[in-house]
Chains A and B, each alone.
Chain A
Amino acid sequence: MLTRVLHTLVILLAMTTGTWAAVVEETDIDVRTREIAKTLRCTVCQTESVWESAAPLAQQMREAIRERVAQGQSAEEIRAYFHSRYGDYILMQPTAQGLNWLIWAGPFALLVLGGIFLYRALNRWVAQSPAPAPEPLSPVDDRSRDRLDRELHRTAPP
């Protein structure tokens, strides 16, 4: 029984060591490949980067990135290569050039325009609405009037 427990512990320890070794052994090439792959879009996926995707094309792209990193190419050179093949679509973050400015500035411009529109509309509504007339006082019947008089008379100073 004790032997079986020891064997299990040894196996578990070996598995832990293996996992730890895998983390430690990540090379500089692995790190740079990952950082570049995160900035490129998987062209056959929906909103996934080349790093995150399990698609065969994304796997091949990761390998292509790794090869270029190993050859000493910079991140910009590698991104430029993919951009020259697939255009702006390959970039997870589109460049702020040409019509792409619309993507960057569009939401803010719409927000400002919406704010101005809302401000002017509210101002107009306020100006057009007449000031509310004071509500007429409810009439006091004779019974209530008598009671009020009695109360006032009772509390009035002598």
Chain B
Amino acid sequence: MTRSSQVVLVLVLLGLFALFYQGLWGDPRRIPAVLIGTTAPALEGPDVVSGARISWDQFRGKVVVVNFWASWCQECKLEHQNLLTIQERFQKDPHFVMLGVNYQDKVEHAQQYLNTHGSSFRHVRDVKGLLAIDYGVYGVPETFVIDQQGIIRYKWIGPVTGDAYTRLTEKVLVPLLQGTAPSI
């Protein structure tokens, strides 16, 4: 085998090893979201608690945190208190709003979940699962942040806990509410 052939072979093997390493140790929650940087689809439907229609218009011009959840989802319970903390911290800002999207759930189960775990923001029912498909959702929980121009700026798959919580609040929400770009 010539010297150049050996070099090519080593490079190919290194490339394959890099792909393997990335697949093995990469964070599966960081699935590249094709919707980042695009206009957020409208989220409309009945309110989980009152049944009244929630219109997307009331969220225009605001930084919106959208959280897809379900009462049967264990990881949603892990992040629930953090979501309430985020709402409590930022709710005084007139440009901030939080919206839950109840996904593949029965309304009575969702209502019971909110009664048990607490609720300080509105939740829209995704009756036919079309809202989730509009947002390219794989499962719950998934969280999106939409800026004041209505552009999706951030997506997180999994519970908003630990580093994910810090990243969402300090590197995404704070900059967006200050009118600057997220520092992620």
> Which residue numbers of A lie inside 8 Å of B, CB to CB?
43-44, 56-57, 60-61, 63-64, 82-87, 117, 121
* Distance, CA A61 to CA B129, complexed state (A): 8
Interface residues contributed by chain B, number (CB under 8 Å): 18
User: Contacts A60-B128, A85-B133, A87-B34 given: A43-B104 contact, CB under 8 Å?
Assistant: no
* Contact B128–A57 (Cβ < 8 Å): no
Residue B32 CB within 8 A of the other chain:
yes
* Distance, CA A56 to CA B70, complexed state (A): 13
As a 0/1 sequence over residues 103 to 142 of chain B, the CB contacts with chain A under 8 angstroms (1 = contact) are: 0100000000000000000000000111011111011000
* Distance, CA A14 to CA B128, complexed state (A): 34
* Contact A87–B130 (Cβ < 8 Å): no
* Contact A60–B133 (Cβ < 8 Å): yes
Could you say which residues of chain B place their CB within 8 Å of the CB of A43?
138
User: Contacts A60-B130, A60-B133, A64-B133 given: A84-B139 contact, CB under 8 Å?
Assistant: no
Looking across the interface, which residue of chain A has its beta carbon closest to that of B126?
A60
Q: Choose one: A60, A84, A87, A121; the contact of B132 (CB below 8 Å).
A: A60
As a 0/1 sequence over residues 58 to 74 of chain B, the CB contacts with chain A under 8 angstroms (1 = contact) are: 00000000000000000
